[in-house]
């Protein structure tokens, strides 16, 4: 089975589109569109030279004039998606092993455990909810959240229900008989 010339251009367009999908540069797509233009030229009766010219001209014009515009729109400064380490500042986590300013401990953030130090000269005990201030090398710099800043901990401080001693009594009735 032999492919028709327009089918070769279609295969080229598909292959280049797939290459564009696995890369992140918005460069190869213009050549995929050039292949489509050459395919259309073939349908309109153009010979090999006409198809080649259609590919080169359309690809060249798109690369020269539209790529810079798309680059500016898609990759505007400050609009890049924050991923991995760049997304950590501002995230909330839980101390799993005591953290101090001088001795690193462990903090769980987003399902991952990170080495962490305290942003202030204070000890942060295990179980404390913290906010990531910044990333310093491979360590998180964290600070404890204020009790009212802990989502889902209404009326609690350090996880102990308001109006009770740790692990005793009933916060709803005020019964401290434990």
Q: pLDDT for 120-163, tens place per residue?
A: 889 999 999 999 999 888 899 999 998 655 554 444 444 444 44
- Distance of alpha carbon 93 from alpha carbon 109, whole angstroms: 4
- Distance of alpha carbon 126 from alpha carbon 131, whole angstroms: 14
Residue 2: its pLDDT value, please?
Answer: 84
Cβ proximity of 89 and 116 under 8 Å: no
Residue count of the chain, please give it. Answer: 178
Cβ proximity of 34 and 58 under 8 Å: yes
Structural domains of the chain ordered from first start: 5-74 (no CATH), 86-145 (2.40.50.140)
Residue 95: its pLDDT value, please?
Answer: 94
Residue 23: its pLDDT value, please?
Answer: 79
Residue 165: its pLDDT value, please?
Answer: 41
Residue ranges of the chain whose pLDDT lies below 70: 24-25, 74-84, 147-178
Q: Count of CB atoms within 10 A of residue 28's CB?
A: 16
Phi, psi for 160 (deg, rounded to 5): -95, 125
| One-character DSSP codes across 96-144 | EE-B-SSS-EEEEETTEEEEEEESSSS-B-TT-EEEEEEEETTEEEEEE
Model confidence, pTM: 0.42
Q: Could you tell me whether strands 105-109 and 112-118 are parallel, antiparallel, or unpaired per DSSP bridges? A: antiparallel
């Amino acid at each position: 089975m032999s492919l028709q010339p327009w089918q070769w251009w279609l295969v080229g367009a598909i292959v280049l589109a797939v290459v564009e999908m696995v890369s992140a540069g918005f460069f190869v797509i213009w050549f995929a569109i050039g292949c489509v233009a050459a395919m259309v030229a073939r349908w309109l009766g153009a010979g090999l030279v006409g198809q080649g010219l259609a590919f080169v001209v359309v690809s060249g014009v798109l690369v020269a004039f539209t790529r810079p515009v798309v680059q500016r729109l898609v990759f505007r400064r400050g609009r890049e998606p924050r991923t991995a380490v760049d997304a950590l500042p501002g995230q909330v986590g839980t101390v799993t092993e005591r953290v101090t300013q001088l001795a690193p401990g462990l903090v769980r953030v987003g399902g991952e455990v990170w080495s962490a130090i305290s942003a202030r000269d204070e000890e942060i005990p295990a179980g404390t909810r913290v906010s990531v201030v910044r990333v310093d090398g491979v360590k998180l710099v964290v600070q404890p959240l204020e009790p009212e800043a802990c989502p889902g901990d209404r009326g609690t401080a350090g996880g102990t229900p308001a109006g009770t001693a740790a692990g005793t009594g009933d916060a709803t009735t005020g019964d401290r008989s434990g």
